């Protein structure tokens, strides 16, 4: 496609395969730094497109959006009952690990996740932890509790988030990395906060589960706002959702 900058006489020949189909593109001219706009949407889409300001008004923002989010927050999936029951068992000084092992026999999905993480190089028992009872013996009460929390959040944070462009499992893996990183920092700076740092890191992005549908509904506004490459996703959230 032949593209001419309207601010200077420069003409560019851009291969069609490098241009995104069906989108509006804005980029700076390499010579004069002026703005070049290409509308590659079908004619019908261009004619029916509303100005960004008008489209923005069609969606709730700020305080009104916050109230809607709070009304709908109960729709989020709860923590698995197996995890909640496991915490009760571990908090009871009269309980034993056999009771915990029997509980996880009823939920093999979470048990499998726990054992997979327990056998990761991080804990140093690669291939040696074959059961929840074995995990309790080699890892200890505190670490097992941590693994149970991780296994439970996997089902919460493991969904695909279309608004944020995250594949299934991507948010959980990122949150897990942040959790371990936060604990390492806490161990070096303030060991007493190690557990709190780990949990905080694990759920630091949980708000994305709530906001994802609202971002998906407004995705065209996000694309337009960030089209020049100068704006971050965070600044787009603040501008379009009017939430911080």
| pLDDT tens track for 88-144 | 887 787 877 778 777 877 777 888 888 888 888 877 777 788 887 788 778 777 788
Sign of torsion, CA 103 135 111 205? positive
At residue 240, does pLDDT exceed 70?
yes
* CA distance readout (Å), 113 to 59, 116, 134, 167: 39, 5, 15, 19
Dist CA 148 CA 103 (whole Å): 12
Give 210's pLDDT tier (boundaries 50, 70, 90): confident
> Residue 3: beta bridge partners?
12
Domain boundary assignment for the chain: 1-49, 74-213
- Residue 17 tokens read as 């395969």
Dist CA 175 CA 209 (whole Å): 13
Give 47's pLDDT tier (boundaries 50, 70, 90): very low
At residue 45, does pLDDT exceed 60?
no
Residue 229, pLDDT score: 79
Residue 153, pLDDT score: 83
| pLDDT tens track for 143-198 | 888 888 888 888 788 889 999 999 998 998 999 999 999 999 999 999 988 888 98
Cβ burial of 192 (10 Å; 0-12, 13-18, 19+) is exposed
Give 25's pLDDT tier (boundaries 50, 70, 90): confident
pTM over 0.75: no
Local structure of residue 121 (DSSP, 8 states):
G
In this structure, are residues 215 and 230 in contact, taking their beta carbons and an 8 Å threshold?
no
Domain 74-213 CATH class label: mainly alpha
């Amino acid at each position: 496609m032949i593209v001419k900058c309207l601010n200077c006489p420069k003409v560019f020949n851009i291969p069609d395969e490098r241009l995104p189909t069906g989108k509006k593109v804005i980029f700076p001219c390499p010579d004069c730094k002026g703005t070049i706009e290409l509308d590659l949407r079908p004619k019908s889409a261009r004619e029916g497109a509303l100005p960004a300001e008008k489209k923005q008004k069609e969606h709730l923002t700020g305080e009104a959006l916050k109230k809607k989010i709070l009304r709908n927050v109960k729709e989020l999936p709860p923590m698995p009952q197996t995890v909640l029951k496991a915490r009760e068992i571990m908090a009871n000084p009269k309980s034993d690990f056999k009771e915990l092992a029997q509980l996880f026999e009823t939920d093999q999905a979470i048990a499998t996740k726990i054992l997979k993480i327990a056998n990761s190089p991080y804990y140093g028992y690669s291939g040696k932890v074959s059961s929840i009872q074995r995990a309790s013996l080699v890892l200890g009460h505190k670490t097992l509790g941590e693994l149970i929390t991780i296994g439970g959040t996997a089902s919460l944070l493991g969904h695909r988030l279309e608004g944020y462009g995250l594949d299934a499992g991507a948010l959980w893996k990122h949150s897990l990395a942040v959790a371990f990183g936060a604990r390492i920092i806490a161990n070096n700076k303030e060991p007493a906060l190690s557990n709190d740092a780990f949990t905080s890191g694990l759920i630091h992005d949980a708000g994305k589960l709530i906001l994802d549908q609202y971002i998906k509904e407004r995705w065209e506004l996000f694309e337009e706002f960030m089209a020049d490459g100068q704006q971050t996703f965070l600044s787009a959230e603040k501008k379009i959702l009017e939430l911080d």
